[in-house]
Amino acid sequence: MGSRYLILAFVTVLFAGIISSCERSKDFPDEPVINSLEFDSVNKALIINFTDGDGDFGIDSDAPPFQQYLDADSTILNPYYYNLWLDYYEKRDGEWELIETPSTFNFRIPVLTPAGQNKQLDVKVTYDMDFDLPLPTAESDTIKFGVTLVDRAKNSSIPKETSAIVLAD
């Protein structure tokens, strides 16, 4: 009888150890959440840390609803073609002004959904900005970027902005 209790106690302790050693999944919301956003001025890179609770982030196809154009004439751009929306601002006369640029800074991040049962994402993305900053048309040496992320369910993150970036000559 005593060995039965000893075995039961051992199994209970072993089971408790297994349960406590399992990593508990964090409870992230289903929409993307930008946790931090910074600009690395040395490497000209935007560093975005974000989470997505259901892991449905990333685009790997031009099939609907992520095709580039919404019409057959290729005149109406699909806002969901990109999943990283990037706004460019310049500080002019002490105020931030959203600048329309000749080409978009928006970007498509590929599918990041992890294998396995837990699909939650906690991701760091580095967006290399291989263009001249400030832009040739810039009227200021102080800029910032605004970022919004969109997952495959078309859930948008709350927009987040970098702090002011003062560019050297």
pLDDT tens digit at each of 169 positions of the chain: 544 443 443 333 333 333 333 454 678 999 999 999 999 988 999 999 999 999 999 999 888 999 999 999 999 999 999 999 999 999 999 999 999 988 889 999 999 888 888 899 999 999 998 777 778 888 888 999 999 999 999 999 999 999 999 987 6
Q: What pLDDT is stored for residue 13 in this prediction?
A: 36
d(CA 124, CA 140): 29
d(CA 147, CA 79): 14
Tell me what pLDDT residue 25 has.
63
Q: What is the pLDDT of residue 169?
A: 62
pTM value is 0.81
> What is the CATH number assigned to the segment(s) 27-166?
2.60.40
Distance from C-alpha of 161 to C-alpha of 165, rounded to nearest angstrom: 11
pLDDT for position 134: 73
Spans of all domains in the chain: 27-166
